[in-house]
Amino acid sequence: MSESGIRENLKEVENNIASACQKAGRDRSEVTLIAVSKTKPVEMLKEAYDCGCRDFGENKVQELLDKYEALPDDIRWHMIGHLQRNKVKYIVDKVYMIHSVDSLRLAEEISREAVKKNVKVKILIEVNVANEETKFGTTCEEAVQLVRDIAGLPNILVKGLMTIAPYVDDEEKNRCYFQKLKKISVDIMRENIDNISMETLSMGMTGDYRTAVSEGATYVRVGTGIFGVRPPMLKGEEK
């Protein structure tokens, strides 16, 4: 028995994903659960690992590196938080995917470091679909052009799009944003840009992953629903 309830929480999340897939006529294998472990201690990640989790999401470079060192090497680490260009070099050969690319300058830095370390880096373009002032991400209008610009950079693989929907009490309110992200990905796919894939849609968090799955999410990023509540963010910290 897990004292923290992680095993039970994971079961519940798994059931919810499975039933959302079923209702939407999707195969369960189309959706990967990312356990968002930011602020949580290594022991809790180990517990989730022992329950079968292999995809973990972190939003801070140093924290990701510490956990990377401490945990088994078959984990796929997802960088889901805002990434400063001067920190790219520390993670470029350690992360499985960077979900939060929202500028050409950041992509250029990732490309440069990836070439140096001779790795290929999978990235997603973060789109601020709800146009929230507090959030990072490119605008819907700029997303296609950004993908075109990034497409030519060496050692970068654009795999799709990511969004962080608004915090809402009723997840139905976010359905339109998930639909919008899906639509942008279809529009980009139609452009037939070389070296670009739109197979990945990273959308849905604890409050809205069921709706996200029903609208086509291939990654859902669940933190609170697995590990419990986090301490409140400090002033100045990003959403």
* 3-state SS class at 26: coil
Residue 62 in contact with ligand PLP, rule: CB under 6 A? no
Nearer to ligand PLP by Cβ, of 88 and 165: the residue is 165
Q: Which of 12, 224, 228, 237 binds ligand PLP (CB under 6 A)?
A: 224
Q: How far is the CB of 11 from ligand PLP (least distance, A)?
A: 16
Q: State the helix-helix crossing angle for 140-151 and 175-190, rounded to 10 degrees.
A: 40
Please list, in sequence order, all residues whose beta carbon lies within 8 angstroms of the beta carbon of residue 113, skipping any fewer than 6 positions away: 88, 89, 92
Q: Single out the residue of 37, 103, 128, 206 in contact with ligand PLP (rule: CB under 6 A).
A: 206
Query: Which residues in 129-168 contact ligand PLP (CB under 6 A)?
Result: 164
Q: Which amino acid is at 216?
A: G
Helix axes 42-50, 6-24, angle to 10 degrees: 50
The count of chain residues that interact with ligand PLP, using the rule CB under 6 A, is 14
For position 40 contacting ligand PLP by CB under 6 A, the verdict is no
Reading the block at residue 26, the tokens are: 């999707």
Where is 97: in which H helix or E strand? strand 97-101
Instruction: State which residue has the least CB distance to ligand PLP.
Output: 223
Closest distance of CB 36 from ligand PLP, Å: 4
Q: Which of 13, 36, 123, 198 binds ligand PLP (CB under 6 A)?
A: 36
Q: Which among 123, 189, 133, 127 has a CA at the least distance from the CA of 162?
A: 127
Q: CB of 195: closest distance to ligand PLP in angstroms?
A: 25
Q: How far is the CB of 223 from ligand PLP (least distance, A)?
A: 3
Contact between 38 and ligand PLP (CB under 6 A)?
Answer: yes
What DSSP state is assigned to residue 127?
Answer: B
We find the least distance from the C-beta atom of residue 204 to ligand PLP, in angstroms, to be 8
Does residue number 225 form part of the binding site for ligand PLP (CB under 6 A)? yes
Question: Longest Cα pair distance anywhere in the chain, in angstroms?
Answer: 51
Q: How far apart are CA 228 and CA 66, in angstroms?
A: 21
59 binds ligand PLP (CB under 6 A): yes
CB of 78 to ligand PLP, least distance (A): 9
Handedness of CA 210, 211, 213, 219 (dihedral sign): negative
Which residues of the shown chain bind ligand PLP in the complex (CB under 6 A)?
36, 38, 59, 80-81, 164, 205-207, 221-225
